[in-house]
Structure 1
């Protein structure tokens, strides 16, 4: 029987302004690399990857969510707040960490296109 294991999952997220989305994620410390026309690979650490695509549908963007497991929701809140403090990404926003009923503390970040990041610290 052939192996049916999956080794990676890389969703595609929309970008209202492709250059701005790449700059936003780079400013958070994530590595962005153009890999094709209108496609950039975003990498955080060794195993977190997704693609930004130069394609935008408002309803899709505002219903797209990425869950990222992190070590410290409060540290990420401070970091994202500092990045947003200079006003370079006026449509992006971050909320204070919130304890969730399922045993996590989550910092919610909306990127410049409206994509919601769940920066999740498990308890």
Structure 2
């Protein structure tokens, strides 16, 4: 059986509009949006941003985004954070014992994104 796509549902937190702007500023294209759900795409990867808030869930939700230019992403995250003053936390690219170099980013809702460097 073939699988063609896996799209996670990411909670927006209290401020759905802020979450949408944050992901657009990171370079994701919003391909659909209504009051309850937005679809974001970058390259061939997509996720659903759900207008949903449950802080305990959000604080325990994690997703990995694998990228080719981790340092480029770090520069983008820093510039977007400084320019727009988003309520996020981010840790610089770090090599972890499990063999991945990654950025840990807590988005405005509290979701932890592991932005990792693709193996070359």
- After TM superposition, the score normalised by the length of structure 2 is 0.90
Partner of residue 31, structure 2:
33
Task: Give, in whole Å, the separation in 2 of the partners of 1:116 and 1:18.
Answer: 17
Runs of 4+ aligned structure 1 residues displaced above 6 Å come to none
Tell me, yes or no, if structure 1 residue 107 matches structure 2 residue 103: yes
Task: Give, in whole Å, the separation in 1 of the partners of 2:31 and 2:85.
Answer: 20
Is the 1:74–1:107 contact (alpha carbons within 8 Å) kept by the matching residues of 2? no
Instruction: Find the structure with the greater CA-based Rg.
Output: 1
Partner of residue 10, structure 2:
13
Task: Give, in whole Å, the separation in 2 of the partners of 1:35 and 1:7.
Answer: 22
Task: Give, in whole Å, the separation in 2 of the partners of 1:13 and 1:73.
Answer: 21
Q: CA deviation at 1:40?
A: 0.2
Structure 2 matches for 1:1-123, cutoff 5 A?
Answer: 4-16=1-13, 17-45=15-43, 47-89=44-86, 91-123=87-119
Task: Give, in whole Å, the separation in 1 of the partners of 2:81 and 2:7.
Answer: 26
Is the 1:106–1:120 contact (alpha carbons within 8 Å) kept by the matching residues of 2? yes
What secondary structure sits across from 1:96 in the alignment?
strand
Structure 1: where are the runs of 5+ without partners?
A: none
- After TM superposition, the score normalised by the length of structure 1 is 0.88
| Aligned length in residues | 118
Task: Give, in whole Å, the separation in 2 of the partners of 1:77 and 1:35.
Answer: 27
